[in-house]
Structures are given as C-alpha cells and as structure tokens.
Structure 1
Amino acid sequence: MKLPFPGRLLALAVISSLSLALPLSAAHAEDKPKVALVMKSLANEFFRTMEDGAKDYQKTHANEFDLIANGIKNETDTGEQIRIVEQMVNAGAKALVIAPADSKALVSAVKKAMDQGVVVINIDNRLDPDLLKSKGISVPFVGPD
C-alpha cells in the first residue's frame, strides 16, 4: 500500500523518532516505547489522513512501539496543544512527533519534553529556529521546504 504524502511524512518521522528513542528504552527491554503524535488540527483532512497513516504503520509494527495520537480541534488553540504535549510526556512517551500550531508558542513545551529525555521530531510547521537556538536545543524537522 502506498501512503499519501501525509502518511509518508509521518512514517518517516516515526521511523526517525524510533531510531533515536529505542536506545533510550533498552533499560526497559520488556516495554515497548510510546510514540506520541500531536497534530495541530483534528478538523483538517490533512491531519486526519496523517493520523490514519500513523495508525496503519503502527499496526504493521505493533511489536516495536505503541502509538498515542492526539491533536487540537482548533488550529489556533496553542494552550490546548501545550497541555496535550505535557500529558503525553507524563504518560511516558519516549518520542514526540509534533506538528505545532504555533512555531514559537510550542518551543517551551518541546524543551520541557526534551529535558525529560523525550526525543522530539518536528513535522509540517517548523518550530522557530531562532527561539530553538536561544533555548539551546535542536529539533529535527521533517516537512515541506
């Protein structure tokens, strides 16, 4: 099955995050790492297709990782997206694949996640490079140029 572009984009991000997160979970070999997908709009068909692609990919790799997918209903509700990121980290996510609703507002939440050892991959909407630099972090980006 050939995934549509959003699904391929997400599959690449999930594979990237797993390659970074799996060494972190070696101490807990019996536990599969949790990968959190946080999208910026559940109302947007693009992100629903992305979620479907992620779930399909996870089904074929169910023995490798668990997927937790969530997103905000309104693309401008950055406060809710920050809350979801914090919730995912508290739920034990080892990797976070995020399409930020706001390229600046989500940087602090991403830094907090990284400070707790969570591998973060940025998709779709690039986090603000200057703000990332000012926080002393680097987040890989997968998406359109």
Structure 2
Amino acid sequence: MARFLPQALSDALSRPSRTIREFQDVREEVDATLGEVKHTMGEVAQTLAEVDKLMTDVGRTLQNVDTTLTGIGRTLSSVLGNVDTTLTESSATLSDVKKLLSRLDEEREVLGKVPELTAKFGELDAIAKEVREIHSAVLKQQQTSPNPSA
C-alpha cells in the first residue's frame, strides 16, 4: 500500500500540469489561427488596394476616351467644314483622325476589361466578408473559452 500511495499522489499532482499544457496547446492553436487570419486580411487589404489603383487607372482611361471622342468630333467637324481644303491638308487631317481612332480602339480594348475588374472586385468583397466572419468567430471563441491564466 505504501507503493500505491506515492503513485496516486504523483498522478493527482500531474493532472493540473497536464490541464495547463492542454490549455497552452489550445492557446497556441488559436494564436496560430489568428495569425493566419491576420495574414489573410493583410493579403485582402493589399489586393483591395491594387483593385483601387486599377479602378483609378480605369477612371483615367475613361477620361482619355472622353477627350479622344471630343477630339474626334472636333476633327470631323473641321474636315466637314473645310471641304475646300487642299489635298495635302485633307491627307494630314485624315492621318490625325486615323491616329485618334487607333487610340480609341486601344482604349475601347481597355474598357472591355472593366467587367473582369468588376467581377474580381466582387470576388474580393466576398473574400473580405468571409475573413470578417472568421475573425468574428475567432473573437467569439476567445471570449467564450475559459481563460487559462485565471
């Protein structure tokens, strides 16, 4: 019986330290998950910043298209208003119009990418929402879990 008693005491004394280790393990897992969530949120923020920059570029492109269309309108009006111009002047004007139309085609091609950017922004918005939900769940889990240091 003397041999049994020290083992029982040893077992009883090791239970709290095992519990503390288990709490520490859970805490490490929660900390790791929070780190991953923070990292993901950082990536989402970076992607959103890139999308914002792209949207700014699209805005500038739209302004260029407007300017180009205005320039084309003025050029065509000038060509129609000056029917009596010489062949050389007409050729130069048509060359200018060709350059403007080429720029317009290039800018229309860029504008064709706007739906892709819009779809990507929607995807990023959905990812951000999921990250917020995960973050909220982790915070709730932390609030409802017993405090291992208490």
How would you bin the TM-score normalised by the shorter chain?
under 0.3
Relative contact order, CA 8 A, sep 6+: which one is greater? 2
Greater helix fraction, Structure 1 or Structure 2: 2
TM-score, normalised relative to structure 2: 0.20
Indicate the structure (1 or 2) with the bigger Cα radius of gyration: 2
